[in-house]
Structure 1
Amino acid sequence: MTAHPGERFDDRDPLSGRFEVPSWYYHQPVLRKALASHDFGIVFRRLRADFHLTQEALGELVDLPQKRISEVENRKLRLRYLHIIIRITTALRIPAELLGFVADANAKSGEEVGWMMDRRNFVHTVVAITLGANTFPGLDRLTWLHPEHDNPAIPQRIGANDVQAITDATAMFRNSDHKHGGGLLRAAAKEHLRHVLRLKDVRCTDQVRASLQLAVAEIAMTAAWMSYDVEEHDDARRLWLFALNQARTVQDPRTADLAVDVYLDMAHQALHLDEYGEALKLVQLARMVADSHDYPISDSTRSYLSTNMAWCRGAQGQADACRREMDSAQQSYLNADLTAAPTWASHLVPAEIAAQRGHALFLLSHTDRANAAEAIEHLHTAVSGYGTTYTRSRALNLPGLATCYFYAGDVQAGVRTGLAAITAISGLSSRRAYTRLTKLSKTAGMFANHPDVAELRAQIAQTVATT
């Protein structure tokens, strides 16, 4: 094969030195076509021929056994799991856009909502950022955050105390969300983000600049969650993508924690929308980033990672896998030094840990009612343990607790807890909580002939209608 003008193959043994592929290599027509259809058999064969690799050597590069390499090359096996494709793409330096991990370049600005709500485009954009794609059409859609030119003057120089003030303001928004829901200050949080973005070119030390960039990512992550809480899902996705893209180039020990938390927040949203397959992919991405990042994640974040995986397994009725992940989450939490946890993990109080375990069991109980009693135990501990600081969290767990009472056949407790859920949720600015009430009403329908249940469902319908 003839080298591209000005380029040459680096045919060194990749096991004894860094494996380099010329930037033009994957743009050859035959490889572009293969990558577009995720046909790694052709890619593997061409790479081995051009770079003098054995199947064993290629397998070590991409962390696959020789047998798997052979099966892929002979089309006996097709790679389908996203985390494996990402690992291979990273190891072989394959440009993300050649795999189709981009947003629709032909979409017009007026189609922004449709682009983000399209599940394939959204997940592909997340993957593209994970793979380190610097340019692709999807990121251009995040420019709505850019500040207006007529904003007032900005300081000429900032220091560490200024960044701390920004972080303290973000914590205020997060605390408001925990207590009241995301709706009240969501617009103010987004304005906070716009204002801080204006500081990107001010003079500061490299260390301060890294802290500032991480602070921007944290604001975007917080605003995204607040948008999700009021079910502005498209807005939440844009902000999460923005946060992820900001965080991936920051050299700061907290970067891994923030990036993993962003993936898990997106997975949380997917589970809320009953998109279980998407949620699993996002948690797998989070785990891959946690395992391969330059910085280790904290035990509190590792606990949240296992919790999200437990939710995914529970939603799919995989009881053994769900319980293994719950046990892993519990152990990580017991090992965690919460005083050293990132600021955005401050909500991991004992009541929240009980709620996370209870929610996993609640999801399992959808397919196996035998889990309802244990779910009740943990969810009751959670709603009893939340203080006024976490009013929204307490309210959000009440519909699940009521549902589990119905699953367990305790109709009176289900009605009583359902009425408490209505009262608690009515005082919040959280549309997500009202969605949980609607799901509770559907479950209570199994006892529709019971007069108290009929009254509960009528009150839920009236409450939801007035939001």
Structure 2
Amino acid sequence: MPRPPKPLDPTRSAAHWLGAELRHWRELRKLSQDELGALVHLSGDLISKFERAERPCKLRHATALDAALDTGGVLSRSVALAEAEMDNRSREMDNSPSRTTIPPRRAGAGGTLEGPLSAPEWNESIPMERRNFLAATSTALAAGPLLQLMNAAPAAAAPSVVRPADVEQIRAAATTLRSWDNLYGGAGVVRDTALAQLRWAGGLLNSSCPAPLKADLFSAVSRLATVVGASAFDAFAHDDAHRLFAFATSCAEEVDNWPLRAISYNLRSRQATWRGDPDSGLTLAELGLARADRLSPAERSMLHNARARALAKMGRTQQTLTSIGLSDDSFASVVPTDEGSWMAYYDSAQHHGDTGHALFDLALAGHPPQGALRRLRTAVDSHGDGFARSRTFSRTKLATLRMAAGDPEQALADGRTALAEVSQLRSLRANHELGELGRVAHRHRTIPDIRDLREQITSTVAV
């Protein structure tokens, strides 16, 4: 009896992503490795090595495999990513042979120990009139470094006519990339892969699209742009994230998709608040809540949290508490089976974490910390392994608040665990939160264990 194929781990590298995609499409077409090899004049053994990332797949082979499997060009795009990743690794080894490196920071993006950047201009530089939406969006993206990154590696041209399979591919890419982002953070291979997928998906907006597919296409591209924007946000590529979130909003509004519009405004609000402009964050959250009757309970709860976090940063205690109360009320009405698949992440752990983060800011300003501590503890204990980054954010906030509240011994255990978790992520935001813990812990530096924790934090966030 043949042994089952060895599981593949597409998160290890772009080459492993390519291998997993190759196996997926081969099995979807019900072909053995030998049968597929015969179609493209390669051995079955070489196909096996491609799938396990034991041999690099050349572009000419990927192009032939795309044609044989009718993938829409996904393997060709993955080859470009794998080659770019290998080049980056070679440069990193040449430049720093004795230490682990992270992707280089963007100029002006700030280091991992710095606070949020100064507020950006939140007025759109390019008008987004619906009648010339596609042209305006292309211009807006081209105005920044995002398109340069996306053009750095060649990608297969978008098909001239959009098919249902193309839309499904965008959806699948968004789902996979989002899970990677939640697990590992937005830098590294996650960001590189996301950019290539978005470039291809964006090209479909200029292809001929049958009328029945238009809503699905624009909705899928909106979802993908939101995912890529979130990865950029996490990697401190703030200008890219700002444009991508606006792009996601425009795609959603083009087809009157109110839930996706709400999701994009939620992220736009959070980014503005995080960057030190809570006034814009409040405005964006309230724009997302426009026609709240068209949103689900989870979507309303999510946006009330964004509003609460902006208000907390502005020091408006009572309004923050009112927004948290509205969020709690909406969340109490959530029926998971009635929510869209895109809101599946918004469970009890996420709700307690988001509301706990808003209360955290109030507690640092003098509000009683018990509510924040209770919600953050619930979030840490409830998050599954699939949301490692969210759990780390809440755990770091919990440790920081306990340090600030004069309970360093209780903070120490969570601080050590958060330190270990951050070292497994590629998230500059997680590094920043850890740096804040180190700064607050400074007041307890006479305690040997706290002093040791601070030294380890400094070493970690400086890498």
TM-score range, shorter chain: 0.5 to 0.7
Compared CA separation, residues 136 and 219, structure 1 to 2 (3 A): closer
Counterpart in the other structure of 1:278? 280
Is 1:180 aligned to 2:178, yes or no? no
Q: CA deviation at 1:359?
A: 1.2
- Contact 2:126/2:140, CA 8 A, preserved across alignment: no
Moved more, 361-370 or 239-248: 239-248
Distance 2:162 2:422 in 1: 42
Is 1:451 aligned to 2:448, yes or no? yes
Q: What 5-or-longer segments of structure 2 have no aligned partner?
A: 1-106, 110-116
Distance 1:249 1:432 in 2: 32
Distance 1:134 1:249 in 2: 8
Q: CA deviation at 1:461?
A: 0.5
Compared CA separation, residues 455 and 358, structure 1 to 2 (3 A): same
Counterpart in the other structure of 1:378? 375
- Contact 1:129/1:244, CA 8 A, preserved across alignment: no
1:245-324 alignment to 2 at 5 Å? 245-251=250-256, 255-287=257-289, 289-291=290-292, 296-324=294-322
Distance 1:224 1:164 in 2: 20
Compared CA separation, residues 417 and 243, structure 1 to 2 (3 A): same
Compared CA separation, residues 156 and 382, structure 1 to 2 (3 A): same
Distance 2:185 2:302 in 1: 21
Question: 3-state DSSP class of the match of 2:371?
Answer: helix
- Contact 1:267/1:308, CA 8 A, preserved across alignment: yes
Counterpart in the other structure of 1:422? 419
* Structure of greater relative contact order (alpha carbons < 8 Å, 6+ residues apart): 2
Which amino acid counterpart does residue 419 of structure 1 have in structure 2?
Answer: R
- Contact 1:373/1:404, CA 8 A, preserved across alignment: no
TM-superposition CA deviations, 1:1-36 (whole Å, max 9, x none): xxxxxxxxxxxxxxxxxxxxxxxxxxxxxxxxxxxx
Counterpart in the other structure of 2:325? 327
TM-score normalized by structure 1? 0.67
Counterpart in the other structure of 2:363? 365
Compared CA separation, residues 275 and 453, structure 1 to 2 (3 A): farther
- Given candidates 216, 219, 225, the residue that maps to 1:211 is 216
Distance 2:371 2:108 in 1: 41
Counterpart in the other structure of 2:249? 244
Which amino acid counterpart does residue 229 of structure 1 have in structure 2?
Answer: D
Q: What 5-or-longer segments of structure 1 have no aligned partner?
A: 1-111
Distance 1:434 1:249 in 2: 37
Distance 2:282 2:363 in 1: 19
1:340-419 alignment to 2 at 5 Å? 340-370=338-368, 372-419=369-416
1:433-444 alignment to 2 at 5 Å? 433-444=430-441
Question: 3-state DSSP class of the match of 2:139?
Answer: helix
- Contact 1:283/1:309, CA 8 A, preserved across alignment: yes
Compared CA separation, residues 359 and 204, structure 1 to 2 (3 A): same
- Given candidates 156, 165, 169, the residue that maps to 1:165 is 169
State the Cα RMSD in Å: 3.0
- Contact 1:113/1:234, CA 8 A, preserved across alignment: no
Question: 3-state DSSP class of the match of 1:231?
Answer: coil
Which amino acid counterpart does residue 262 of structure 1 have in structure 2?
Answer: S
- Count of residues in correspondence between the two structures: 344
Distance 2:284 2:383 in 1: 28
- Given candidates 331, 337, 361, the residue that maps to 1:339 is 337
Compared CA separation, residues 136 and 198, structure 1 to 2 (3 A): closer
TM-superposition CA deviations, 1:272-299 (whole Å, max 9, x none): 2232222222223223x345xxx81222
TM-score normalized by structure 2? 0.68
TM-superposition CA deviations, 1:25-77 (whole Å, max 9, x none): xxxxxxxxxxxxxxxxxxxxxxxxxxxxxxxxxxxxxxxxxxxxxxxxxxxxx
Q: CA deviation at 1:201?
A: 4.1
Q: CA deviation at 1:351?
A: 1.0
Q: CA deviation at 1:361?
A: 1.3
Compared CA separation, residues 119 and 405, structure 1 to 2 (3 A): closer
